[in-house]
């Protein structure tokens, strides 16, 4: 098994950056989902409600994160903020902490999505835990990701799903951090401890999928029949009855991974579905 793609999403719900190599920190890939939009109540805003966020691109250039809309510059913010006041925020029902970034960019996004909002940077000094109900241990932390630092998906799983769909989709629809090649479909379900490059990762749960997967990343329109969730629901129900596809993982150490790295399964787990494949 090898690493086919590595994807970084600096701002939650915006376009990915494809990487040749990635630094793995305890919160996942460096800068992954380190920024997100929040409304005036402190609740995260995502592509589920605002799919036009998928038109926002980012680039890590020097010490800045540069933002673009349809290839036109929006502005830039420093990757490392000076110490500011940390604010309590919400990722759905989960508590998080963040810091203000740039008032002009806040106004641009407020105008763009039609809701007053701020682009906040995760305050990594206020560690947000991966909850025990999602498989987290005491030392597991996450930035602005929904539940966990890393999402891993195999090419074979996507290929198997596509045999069941009228209109094939790509792995990008599921917003993975790591795409794996040369394994059986759904092999990732049974991984426990894996190693990629110098990094060991612990797979903590199957990932429950949401309506964001029904939105075409190019057209920004929701599928009229809620695909691929409709098809996945026929054969991929997890223990909590949600549709599962791909797995969440937490780093056990820092290090570097690269495209082409071999993925080794150091130990396996038994994870079952409520309906058979």
Do the domain assignments include residue 69?
yes
Residue 24 lies in a domain: no
How many whole angstroms separate alpha carbon 53 and alpha carbon 242?
Answer: 25
One domain for residues 141 and 170: yes
Which residue range(s) make up the domain with 154? 2-7+130-268
User: What would the mean pLDDT of 151-159 be, rounded to a whole number?
Assistant: 98
137 with 225, same domain? yes
pLDDT in tens, 53-75: 999 999 999 999 999 998 899 99
Three-state SS annotation for 126-159: CCCECCHHHCCCCCCECCCCCCCCEEEEEHHHHH
Q: What is the pLDDT of residues 96-114, one digit of tens each?
A: 999 999 999 999 999 999 9
Identify the pLDDT of residue 277.
43
Q: 120 and 103 in contact (C-beta within 8 Å)?
A: no
Each residue's pLDDT tens digit, 40-55:
999 999 999 999 999 9
Q: Which of 157, 253, 139 is nearest to 197 (CA)?
A: 253
Query: Both 135 and 261 in a single domain?
Result: yes
Residue 7: pLDDT band with limits 50, 70, 90: very high
Would you state the pLDDT for residue 171?
97
Residues 183-232: tens digit of each pLDDT = 999 999 999 999 999 999 999 999 999 999 999 999 999 999 999 999 99
Residue 18 lies in a domain: no
Asked if residue 273 belongs to a domain, the reply is no
Structurally, the chain folds into a number of domains equal to 2
pLDDT at 84 over 80: no
Domain-ending residue, one of 88, 122, 156: 122
Query: Is residue 48 domain-shared with residue 140, that is, in the same domain?
Result: no
Same-domain status, 185 and 215: yes
Q: What is the pLDDT of residue 275?
A: 53
Compute the distance between CA of residue 193 and CA of residue 52 in angstroms, rounded to an integer: 37
Residue 175: how many CB atoms within 10 A of its CB? 23
Show the tokens assigned to 257. 């991974």
Longest dimension (CA), the chain: 51
Left if phi > 0, otherwise alpha if psi is -120 to 50, otherwise beta: which for 10?
A: alpha
Measure CA of the first residue to CA of the last residue in the chain; give whole Å. Answer: 22
Residue 275 inside a domain? The answer is no
- Structural domain contains residue 14: no
φ, ψ of residue 93 to 5 degrees: the values are -95, 0
Across the chain, mean pLDDT equals: 95
Summarised one tens digit per residue, pLDDT across range 238-272 is 988 899 999 999 999 999 999 999 999 999 998 98
| Cα 170 to the center of its chain, rounded Å | 15
């Amino acid at each position: 098994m090898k690493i086919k793609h590595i994807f970084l999403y600096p701002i939650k719900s915006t376009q990915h950056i494809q990487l040749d190599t990635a630094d793995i920190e305890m919160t996942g890939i460096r800068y992954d989902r380190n920024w997100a939009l929040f409304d005036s109540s402190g609740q995260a805003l995502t592509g589920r409600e605002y799919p036009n966020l998928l038109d926002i691109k980012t680039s890590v250039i020097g010490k800045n994160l540069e933002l673009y809309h349809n290839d036109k510059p929006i502005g830039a913010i420093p990757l490392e903020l000076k110490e500011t006041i940390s604010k309590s925020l919400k990722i759905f029902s989960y508590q998080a902490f963040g810091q203000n970034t740039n008032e002009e960019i806040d106004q641009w996004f407020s105008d763009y999505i039609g809701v007053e909002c701020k682009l906040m940077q995760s305050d990594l000094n206020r560690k947000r835990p991966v909850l025990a109900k999602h498989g987290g241990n005491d030392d597991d932390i996450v930035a602005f990701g929904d539940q966990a630092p890393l999402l891993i998906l195999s090419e074979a799983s996507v290929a198997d799903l596509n045999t069941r769909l009228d209109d094939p989709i790509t792995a990008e629809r599921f917003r993975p951090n790591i795409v794996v090649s040369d394994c059986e479909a759904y092999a990732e379900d049974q991984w426990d401890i894996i190693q990629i490059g110098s990094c060991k990762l612990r797979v903590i749960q199957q990932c429950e999928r949401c309506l964001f997967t029904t939105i075409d990343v190019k057209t920004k329109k929701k599928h009229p029949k809620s695909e691929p969730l409709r098809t996945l629901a026929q054969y991929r129900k997890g223990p909590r009855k949600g549709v599962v596809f791909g797995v969440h993982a937490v780093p056990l150490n820092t290090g570097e991974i690269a495209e082409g790295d071999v993925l080794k399964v150091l130990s396996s787990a038994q994870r079952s579905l409520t309906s058979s494949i």
